[in-house]
A = this chain, B = another copy of it.
């Protein structure tokens, strides 16, 4: 008999096919598990797969008395109550670095698209306004990349890959993180200093209680009216209401966002702006990063069911 694994978050089925060949997947499809499965069905479950950002507290864990492993699909694990898991000796694993290149790519895509107003430009062609030579204030020339100051907040694997990419555009790259790294970029001593210094702030910091709403109205004001913010980390790192206000009153020039406060929802006030570029949390959504993340999930589950430590534990 195959081992049972609870699928806690909502994942497209295609992503779970390979894992389903080896395990019996019990798919809660993003709903509370007790709405889908009986207490008896949950009683057997020893391992679960979750998206790291999905809230997962002691209450859910306690529905599964035999639960021994929480496996996050992706790098993040900010939704998991690590203390509650530790208390019950539940191991927590993730997919470190598996999607780093893919996430860094989307960060640069959002950065370029927002600063060069790609969506406005594409619409200017498709609407016929270009052919009609219709004047458009949104089409005025903007600053390009050369000489731009790009601030990267967080210098983990994703932050380093973002920095390497944007540096190739003849930019100046600066960063802030808790500690200095051996990287060829200017270190700024605080997030405040980074926001003052840069014209594009790219958020690549790990989400957690210490970074909750750390990009607030004050940071956005420091970024300034020519500034852009790009977020590929977690929605929780930005105070989303402050961001909406800063966009509405032109405290900043624009934004590129892959993550939001409450997913899968981008608020209507945000989707009404022409100077933002919005993607539906697809940073890690490439063929090769899904394969790499699945590799990590399979390795974590195999190790757990063999009674060994997880292959990719959250440290």
Contacts and interface: CB of A to CB of B under 8 A. Distances in A.
A279 B122 contact: yes
A180 interface: no
Contacts of A108: 112, 169
Nearest to A101: B146
Interface in A269-298: 271, 277-280, 282, 285-290
A109 B105 contact: no
A253 to B, nearest CB: 13
Given A112-B112, A118-B109, A119-B122, A141 B290 contact: yes
B290 A125 contact: no
Interface residues of A, number: 52
Interface stretch (A46-54, A55-63, A160-168, A305-313): A160-168
A64 to B, nearest CB: 25
B288 A144 contact: yes
B125 A278 contact: yes
A212 to B, nearest CB: 23
Nearest to A292: B146
A86 interface: no
A10 B10 CA distance: 52
Interface stretch (A37-45, A126-134, A198-206): A126-134
A226 B86 CA distance: 46
Number of copies: 2
Contacts of A14: 140
A118 B118 contact: yes
Given A130-B266, A146-B101, A165-B168, A124 B286 contact: no
Contacts of A220: none
Interface string A83-121: 000000000000000000110011011001100101101
Contact of A124 (B10, B105, B124, B280): B280
Contacts of A1: none
A264 B134 CA distance: 11
Contacts of A277: 118, 122
27 contacts: A10-B133, A101-B144, A102-B144, A102-B146, A105-B116, A105-B145, A105-B146, A106-B116, A108-B112, A109-B109, A109-B113, A109-B116, A119-B122, A121-B278, A122-B277, A124-B280, A125-B266, A130-B265, A131-B264, A133-B264, A139-B282, A141-B286, A141-B289, A141-B290, A142-B286, A142-B287, A165-B168
